[in-house]
Amino acid sequence: MTVVRPLAPADVLEELGRRRIVAVIRAGSADAAVFAAQALAAGGVDAVEVTYTTPGAAIAIRELVDAQSDLLLGAGTLTSAAQAREAVEAGASFLVSPYTCVPVLDVGAESDVLAIPGVMTPTEIAAVRERAPLLKLFPAGIGGPALLRALRGPFPDLRLLPTGGVSAENVADWLAAGAFAIGAGSDLCPPRLVDERDRVEIERRARAYVSAAGREDA
């Protein structure tokens, strides 16, 4: 499917829920990030977060926006308004922070771009849920699917994107616990495979995730 940009936050939210898997790319260069995103897309994982721990992250996002129209592209590990603005200018459709970074939320609101803050506790959720329709549960592996299930008790309508500790083996558990979608990093796209440009193995891992998530296109 070709995504027409720019997408409104509600449309991005809908797409993330449909695609179910967000690949979190940490790479040593912009070129490496582009390679990883394209390999993942070839395997069926077509929502990608290029982290700002990647040198030249904005360059990678801009190149992918221009060259890979089937990808839903976001920027991750954002910790400042300047980073968020740069990501928006590069064409990012969503902005992700590892914690509740208010300046990134502000840029998202100003730019009409979906911002996804990181949370871990009920207090953090309560403080930000009115500003963000989707929250990143991070590091999700500490509590596992049981934590997500428990949080949805007092917050039954909560949309959570668990990230950290997600693997192909537990994707189904996360979704069964009520995850809106899942974020997968080093298990899905290990830096070693990116460094080695191992497209075959990255594609294989992507297909395994798509299958585990029960996607109709698996």
Q: Which residues are designated catalytic? A: 49, 136
- Measured CA to CA, the distance from residue 116 to residue 24 in angstroms comes to 13
Strand, coil or helix: 50: strand
- SS3 call for 114: strand
Strand, coil or helix: 77: coil
| CA dist., res. 44 & res. 40, Å (int) | 6
Specify whether the CB–CB gap between 45 and 25 falls below 8 A.
Answer: no
Q: To the nearest 5 percent, what fractions of the chain are helix, strand and coil? A: 45, 15, 40
Determine whether 130 is exposed, middle or buried from the number of CB atoms within 10 Å of its CB (0-12, 13-18, 19+).
exposed
Contacts of 123 (CB under 8 A, 6+ apart): none
Its sign, for the CA torsion 12, 137, 21, 26, is positive
Edge-first strand listing for the sheet containing 47-51: 114-116, 94-96, 72-76, 47-51, 21-25, 182-184
